[in-house]
Amino acid sequence: MGKKLKSKNMTKVIAGAVSILLFILLWQYGAACTAVGKLLPTPVVVFQDFIKDCYSNIGQYTLIGHIFWSLERVMLAYVVACVAGVALGMGMGWNRTIEAIFRPIFEVIRPIPPIAWIPLSILWFGIGEMTKFFLIFLAAFTNVTQNAYAGAKAVDPVLVGAAKMLGANNRQLFTKIVMPFSVPYIFAGLQIALSSSWATVVAAEMVRSSEGVGWLIFGGMQTNDTTQILVGILAIGIVGFILAIIMREAEARLCAWNNRGV
């Protein structure tokens, strides 16, 4: 079983590497041999600038500095959103009164993309850090809440009934059955929320900022610097990929008993 799993994982790695290589070759050909090259630099140029920007300042900071600014904003809003989202989602899924009060409001807010809140967030909080925090918070909060709610609702009623017959009270039912059962759902929401938060920080930093990956892209757009824009996009992709790997590894370790963690 272990050898089969390793072989399957190796196949995925090879397939992923081949697809990335083919994409880079197609990009190189288009930029070097067609009219696309007038609008798009070659991957070699972008990768060279990416390395150079890691130790050379763009504005006040290097590329690494801008990435850390964005990560700091994301992590602060993300942690608060996760705590609030799990609490509200589990509450709505377990308690009918909480569900009746908050679910209609949540269902109205949930489909609205965070970017749509930019004008109101500027009116409410100005153009400082609070606006960015609010937008990133919304991106994470809705995903975590929805998944936590789905997990609490998916608990097998037969299991709950059996626990009640054995004398379990509501607190025991919630802590011993509902919460453990909901963990895989919550982790799925945490992963989606982290990706959404990282994507939203780009839009948030374009509102008004002097640092961050979003500012990097916006600055490249203002100066018509396509290479800087692509360096920023590449940084977003790499960091997003690393964050996804970290979350999957955390789920695999904390939910080893569940098939989703395999």
Integer Cα distance of 174 and 182 in angstroms: 10
Residue 230's pLDDT is: 92
pLDDT tens across 183-238, in order? 889 988 999 999 899 989 888 887 777 888 988 888 888 888 889 999 999 999 99
**Would you give the DSSP letter of residue 174?**
I
The count of residues in the chain is 262
Angle (nearest 5°) at CA 67 between 120 and 194 = 60
Please tell me the pTM assigned to this model.
0.83
Residue 141's pLDDT is: 94
Q: Is 152 exposed, middle or buried (0-12, 13-18, 19+ CB in 10 A)?
A: buried
Beta carbons within 8 Å of 17's beta carbon, 6+ residues apart = none
Q: Which two tokens stand for residue 215?
A: 């500012």
- CB contact at 8 A, 62 and 56: yes
Q: How many CB atoms lie within 10 A of CB 125?
A: 15
- CB contact at 8 A, 176 and 137: no
In degrees rounded to 5, what are phi and psi of residue 61?
-135, 165
CA distances to 61, 62, 225, 227, 235 from 55, in Å: 9, 6, 19, 16, 14
Tell me which residues of the chain have a pLDDT lower than 70: 1-9, 255-262
**Would you give the DSSP letter of residue 34?**
S
Integer Cα distance of 262 and 257 in angstroms: 9
